[in-house]
Amino acid sequence: MKFGVVVFPGSNCDADVKYVLEEVMKQPTDYIWHQETSVEGYDCIILPGGFSYGDYLRTGAIARFSPIMKAVEEFADRGGLVLGICNGFQILLEAGLLPGAMKINDDLQFHCHYTYLRVENNRTPFTNLLQEKQVIRIPIAHGEGNFYADEETLRELEENGQVVFRYCTPEGEITPEANPNGSVNNIAGICNKDRNILGMMPHPERCAEEILGGTDGSLIFASILEWWERGGKLGR
């Protein structure tokens, strides 16, 4: 399985993602400069965290016009796997590949710490090695991770099982205190209806080795490989 990690001006987690894919997951991985116009030859595209274009307008609002995003959109339309992490999630929202929007954290503070996530949908290529309602521990690092959607969009996300992760307590309870940024319904990650696009604010690449304090993030990448090795089918 071959991965492509898109690099925008300002990206700062691209090297972390590439390291995990190559050194931990042992998969061939290339950087893809944002001015490229093709993702031919790749099986999964990852939009990493970072501050694309310095977040000088609105997070992801400029990056979504990079030439590579047209190719990413066409790749996703053909069923290709796309994972957006933090700023990558924000870019997917701005590009209209996922519904909703991102606001500044409700306390106006930048948050950088571990969070607990409850797995709400394990029937995606990105979570099929996890159990439903399983609690995993993955760090966040953002100032604009306050996910918002209007009532109709939110209802569709919930009814279609597109909410993949929610912020929770270590025991898996969904409470306001466990929500680090004010996201509606404690949402930390969503997928599209076809479940081949996932956007998540927490950083799985930052907890994929014991030396970093945890390995729960590796389960996301391992799930992608499991899905691929099964020929694009879910299950264990």
Q: Where are the beta strands (DSSP E) in 43-194?
A: 44-47, 81-85, 101-103, 111-119, 135-142, 146-148, 163-168, 187-191
> Do the domain assignments include residue 113?
yes
> Do the domain assignments include residue 236?
no
pTM of the model: 0.96
> Do the domain assignments include residue 88?
yes
Q: Is the pLDDT of residue 122 over 70?
A: yes
- Number of Cβ within 10 Å of residue 16's Cβ equals 20
> Do the domain assignments include residue 189?
yes
By annotation, the residues acting in catalysis are 86, 203, 205
Averaged pLDDT score across all residues of the chain: 96
The per-residue pLDDT for 161 is: 97
Instruction: Give the N- to C-terminal CA distance of the chain in Å, as an integer.
Output: 18
Could you tell me the two tokens for 145?
A: 């991770």
Could you tell me the two tokens for 113?
A: 């710490």
> Do the domain assignments include residue 66?
yes
Averaged pLDDT for residues 154-183: 98
The per-residue pLDDT for 9 is: 95
> Do the domain assignments include residue 40?
yes
Domain assignment of residue 77, given as a range: 3-230
> Do the domain assignments include residue 31?
yes
> Do the domain assignments include residue 87?
yes
Identity (one letter) of the amino acid at 159?
E
- Largest pairwise CA distance in the chain: 45
Per-residue pLDDT of 78-117, as tens digits, reads 999 999 999 999 999 999 999 999 999 999 999 999 999 9
Number of domains in the chain: 1
What's 157's domain CATH number?
A: 3.40.50.880
Per-residue pLDDT of 4-49, as tens digits, reads 999 999 999 999 999 999 999 999 999 999 999 999 999 999 999 9
- Number of Cβ within 10 Å of residue 68's Cβ equals 23
